[in-house]
Amino acid sequence: MTDLQGSCAPRFDAAREALQRNIDSGEDLGASLVLDVDGERVVDLWGGFRDEARTVPWDEHTITNVWSTTKTVTSLAALVLVDRGELDVHAPVARYWPEFAAGGKEDVLVRHLLAHTSGVSGLEQPAAVEDLYDWDAVTARYAEQAPWWEPGSASGYHATNFGHLVGELVRRITGRTLKRFVADEIAGPLGADFGIGASEADGDRIAPVVPPPPPAGLPEPGSVAARTFSGPAMDAAYANTAGWRRADLGGLNGHGNARSVARILSVVARGGEVDGVRLLRPQTIDLIFDEQARGVDLVLGIPLRWGIGFALPEPSTCRGSPTSGSASGAAGAAP
């Protein structure tokens, strides 16, 4: 048993107790939890261990691979460009990335990428995880592909390629990699301990990923889900390799902790400005809530609602999800 460290306002004692139970039971090996309410950090907790042998405590500065939570930061990067007038969510992707018009994708819009409705939810075979590490080669392949369903007609979770598709727009517009743009324009100004990928210097404070049990079933061969999850097939252990940590995977390999993720995403919750750093105007935030898709996702097979860059509340899927109001977000495997 290991006691949680940090702080928690008394009215959120139930959250502290729930996290403590998860760590004591072994359901969570180690974790951090932060809740920001109107700029006040009312919960800031961490505890457990960062190694499977339970020898190294999870401390205040531990970071880990946050998987698809990275997509929210990538979406924020795109919205920063929208706010500056450099990216139009209603414009064809090909306006910024001409090669993307190949394969019948000339009418795919920027908002289709941001709402997982582009029809390009994975890489055509052959596909290996190492392909994702070669930015120029893999984005060229995505540009050449034909969509797997009619763009805009339904969502199909862009599990492994969201960061490449949106990140290539960032690169075409700014001349900077997505990784660099996030560091320079989001994490840096906000003082957030977050990066896409991780440096060698961070190695001693990274909590390695412990792979979960394999899924119970496999999608129907040839389906959009099967093509997505095999393009490329993923193994959680990849997150512990040097190649993965060096790569620019804006949908998968963000490294941070609850404190840094909350700091960045509070930009949306606080109307676009955090402690004097303004990244978005309110009208740009409003775009998030423009529903783009609602229904059973072709990849995940569950009901989802997508706005522009973020998921919207879907009560039938998310227990306790609000049915109205300005709630948004996305799921991820950590922290």
Between CA 237 and CA 212 the distance in angstroms is: 9
Phi, psi for 44 (deg, rounded to 5): -150, 90
Task: Tell me the pLDDT tens digit for each residue of 74-109.
Answer: 999 999 999 999 999 999 999 999 999 999 999 999
Q: What is the mean pLDDT of residues 263-267?
A: 97
pLDDT: is 172 or 39 the higher one?
A: 172
| pLDDT at 317 (0 to 100) | 60
Task: Tell me the pLDDT tens digit for each residue of 287-325.
Answer: 999 999 999 999 999 999 999 999 999 876 654 444 445
| pLDDT at 326 (0 to 100) | 58
- Residue 329: band (very low, low, confident or very high) from pLDDT cuts 50, 70, 90: low
Residue 310 class from Cβ within 10 Å (0-12 exposed, 13-18 middle, 19+ buried)?
buried
CB 274 within 8 A of CB 36: no
Between CA 102 and CA 123 the distance in angstroms is: 15
Query: Does 334 score more than 50 pLDDT?
Result: no
| pLDDT at 314 (0 to 100) | 86
Q: How far is CA 185 from CA 85, 133, 268, 299, 330, in A?
A: 15, 23, 15, 32, 21
Q: What is the mean pLDDT of residues 271-280?
A: 97
- Residue 132: band (very low, low, confident or very high) from pLDDT cuts 50, 70, 90: very high
Residue 27 class from Cβ within 10 Å (0-12 exposed, 13-18 middle, 19+ buried)?
exposed
Query: Does 197 score more than 80 pLDDT?
Result: yes
Lowest-pLDDT range, 27-41, 136-150, 213-227, 262-276? 213-227
pLDDT: is 60 or 320 the higher one?
A: 60
Query: Does 205 score more than 90 pLDDT?
Result: yes
Q: What is the mean pLDDT of residues 39-54?
A: 96
Query: Does 332 score more than 70 pLDDT?
Result: no
Could you give all domains of the chain from N- to C-terminal order, each with its CATH number? 1-60 (no CATH), 65-252+273-312 (3.40.710.10)
| pLDDT at 40 (0 to 100) | 94
| pLDDT at 74 (0 to 100) | 98
Mean pLDDT of the chain, nearest integer = 94
Between CA 258 and CA 327 the distance in angstroms is: 18
- Residue 214: band (very low, low, confident or very high) from pLDDT cuts 50, 70, 90: confident
- Residue 327: band (very low, low, confident or very high) from pLDDT cuts 50, 70, 90: low
Q: What is the mean pLDDT of residues 325-332?
A: 56
Residue 34 class from Cβ within 10 Å (0-12 exposed, 13-18 middle, 19+ buried)?
buried
DSSP 183: I
Q: What is the mean pLDDT of residues 225-239?
A: 97
DSSP string for residues in 206-242: EE---PPPPPS--PPTTSHHHHHHTTT---GGGGGSH
- Residue 330: band (very low, low, confident or very high) from pLDDT cuts 50, 70, 90: low
Residue 83, token pair as written in the block: 């706010």
Query: Does 254 score more than 50 pLDDT?
Result: yes
Q: How far is CA 26 from CA 18, 30, 46, 189, 271, in A?
A: 12, 9, 15, 37, 38
Task: Tell me the pLDDT tens digit for each residue of 151-184.
Answer: 999 999 999 999 999 999 999 999 999 999 999 9
